Structure 1
Amino acid sequence: MSHDQNTPWTVSLAAGGFAGAVEAGATVRLPHQSIPSSYPKQQQYPFEFAKTRVQLREQKGIPTPRNPFAVVAGVYRNEGLSALYKGCSALVVGSVAKDGIRFLSFDTIKETFKDPETGTLSPARNLAAGMCSGVVASIFAVTPTERMKTALIDDARNERRFTGNVQAVKLVLKEDGFLGLYRGFAGTTLKQAGATAFRMGTYNILKDYERVRDIPQTTLTNFANGSVAGIVTTLATQPFDTIKTRCQSARGATTVEAFRSVIADYGVRGFWKGTTMRLGRTVFSGGILFTTYEWAAAILNPLMRKQV
């Protein structure tokens, strides 16, 4: 994350959205004709699909395997290759919107949180700025797109009422109104607030640490910092992700109902269901996201400032 002062909001939005697009394109692989090339790499979309399936309630008499490869292979065998990509487009669109808004809001909020004397952010203020930007991203992008992604994945294994993204959105709006797109808002917002706080905060804390010690900011260090931030974020926010997934199933559930169902099904350990599958994506995506943002911002900043 760039620490240049007075970064134009257009740079934050454009660089963040572009980074989100690159991250989504690099970590989501669209289906090919054979399963062997589609699922061995953990950063590919089937593992996001598998993570969501594992977090949803098990069908009676059909326990969900813990091994992500077994989940992917079972769905491919029983439902076909296309089933593994249910909700994929919603995830991609959400990634672009989420990261554009998240970087924009973080760059804006961190200016308010900076120490007026030093112009820097303490670790606590870094986390607070990230938390606030996560709430903004949840409201304007993450909750509705995550709701539709999860609903599509859940519907595909049960009722199969959804035939596509547009039809699914129309049906949700018809049955539940506009608020139907915000099922799981509390869990999603808690997850986003925590995830953005840890992701942005960890990345910036590492970057400040390296600057004090004159460690060059290269593509390698940016990628490494982003990957570490991805690990910290995943481990710290997995319970919120699990609750969010239960809330955003095809029929939906309240946050309290989702919490109780996880405890009833698996106990406290159930809140970390899907951690390995999520790590496979977030470690890789974190490195790509921040590396791309730094690169795009470095190109756009001089161009935008010349126009001011």
Structure 2
Amino acid sequence: MAFKKEKPLHSVIAGTTAGAVEAFVTYPTEFIKTRSQFGGGKESPLAIIRNTLRDKGVAGLYSGCMALVVGNAVKAGVRFVSYDHFKNKLADAEGKVSAPRSLVAGLGAGMMEAIFAVTPSETIKTKIIDDAKQPKPQYRGLIHGTVSIVRQEGIFGIYRGLFPVMMRQGANSAVRFTTYSTLKQFVQGTARPGQTLPSTITFGIGAIAGLVTVYTTMPLDVVKTRMQSLDARSQYRNSFHCAYRIATEEGVLRFWAGTTPRLARLVMSGGIVFTIYEAIIKSLGGRET
């Protein structure tokens, strides 16, 4: 597939804006998914919503929100810039990128975002959500939570679960970008030459990419969440031990705990992120030829 390169600054602006908006809009589904994974899927999404609203109010559904908003903004910026960079490096002499090479570019972008944005923000978010269900939460917000975690566990405390996060983000980006690019190329092939795809079509393509991503990467997400919990150090030796215990003690299907809320989030996020990203790139002057 041939492509036009985004200017790096434009990718950063469009990506961070899209990531921040998407994180805030879809955060309640992320909260529900994380709580579902802590409970091993024993508490239904509706029960989590009902109990949280009863005990904490609407604000309870946004526990740890700022950690994800900030992290998601940085993540999306890193993701789009990295993907465009890898895609440019992997393009052939005619500027075309095959589906397998797009998959590799997405994998590289996912690895970059896991290291520079996702692991710290999601570790903090996960610990705050886990702490919020305690009778007396110890974290009073993003800054206090971050300082407390670093003070108690050192800088590596916010990098707990790095390996499963790298695997999940690599798989996420590889699957999502490849699905999105392939579907977009197909749809553009049926349109008139030079015709710009409407936002509704872009949203739909992004939503389908999110759907495919959820079911293929859910086990990695469950392991990631367990490895970032407050008692992870006393429960699991490493990611492989965590996966082994889940499979042998709770059953293989437990790897898909929290699928419904994550599905809701990634379908929406896929549509929101790609739609906002494309709109901002267009408003900033489009892509370089």
TM-score normalised to structure 1 length: 0.85
Residue from 108, 127, 130 that aligns with 1:154: 130
RMSD (CA atoms): 2.0
Q: How far apart, CA to CA, are the structure 2 residues paired with 1:298 and 1:82?
A: 35
- Kept after mapping to 2: 8 A contact 1:150/1:248: yes
Residue from 129, 145, 149 that aligns with 1:172: 149
Deviations 1:114-158 (A, max 9, x none): 122x31111111111001000000110000000000001111223
Does 1:49 find its partner at 2:48? Answer: no
1:218 corresponding residue in structure 2: 198
- Kept after mapping to 2: 8 A contact 1:47/1:72: no
1:231 corresponding residue in structure 2: 211
- Kept after mapping to 1: 8 A contact 2:3/2:95: no
By how many angstroms is 1:193 displaced? Answer: 0.3
Does 1:20 find its partner at 2:19? Answer: yes
* SS at structure 2 position matched to 1:54: helix
Deviations 1:90-115 (A, max 9, x none): 11111111101100111111001112
2:228 corresponding residue in structure 1: 248
Residue from 97, 101, 107 that aligns with 2:78: 101
Deviations 1:234-289 (A, max 9, x none): 11111111000001112334313421332244211111111111111111111111
2:105 corresponding residue in structure 1: 129
Number of equivalenced pairs: 279
Letter in 2 for 1:23: E
User: Pairwise mapping of residues 157-306 of structure 1 onto structure 2 (< 5 A)?
Assistant: 157-158=133-134, 160-214=137-191, 216=195, 217-253=197-233, 254-301=238-285
Letter in 2 for 1:249: S
By how many angstroms is 1:69 displaced? Answer: 1.1
- Kept after mapping to 1: 8 A contact 2:218/2:255: yes
Q: How far apart, CA to CA, are the structure 2 residues paired with 1:282 and 1:269?
A: 20
Q: How far apart, CA to CA, are the structure 1 residues paired with 2:148 and 2:73?
A: 24
User: Pairwise mapping of residues 81-120 of structure 1 onto structure 2 (< 5 A)?
Assistant: 81-116=58-93, 118-120=94-96
What 5-or-longer segments of structure 2 have no aligned partner? Answer: none
Moved more, 222-231 or 206-215: 206-215
Q: How far apart, CA to CA, are the structure 1 residues paired with 2:100 and 2:232?
A: 35
1:3 corresponding residue in structure 2: 3
1:69 corresponding residue in structure 2: 46
Q: How far apart, CA to CA, are the structure 2 residues paired with 1:267 and 1:12?
A: 42
What 5-or-longer segments of structure 1 have no aligned partner? Answer: 28-44
Deviations 1:211-252 (A, max 9, x none): 333365221221111000000111111111100000111233
1:33 corresponding residue in structure 2: none
Q: How far apart, CA to CA, are the structure 1 residues paired with 2:166 and 2:104?
A: 14
- Kept after mapping to 2: 8 A contact 1:123/1:205: yes
* SS at structure 1 position matched to 2:232: coil
By how many angstroms is 1:73 displaced? Answer: 0.5
Q: How far apart, CA to CA, are the structure 2 residues paired with 1:145 and 1:133?
A: 17
By how many angstroms is 1:79 displaced? Answer: 4.4
By how many angstroms is 1:83 displaced? Answer: 2.8
Q: How far apart, CA to CA, are the structure 1 residues paired with 2:111 and 2:126?
A: 20
- Kept after mapping to 2: 8 A contact 1:203/1:225: yes
By how many angstroms is 1:17 displaced? Answer: 1.0
Sequence identity percentage: 38
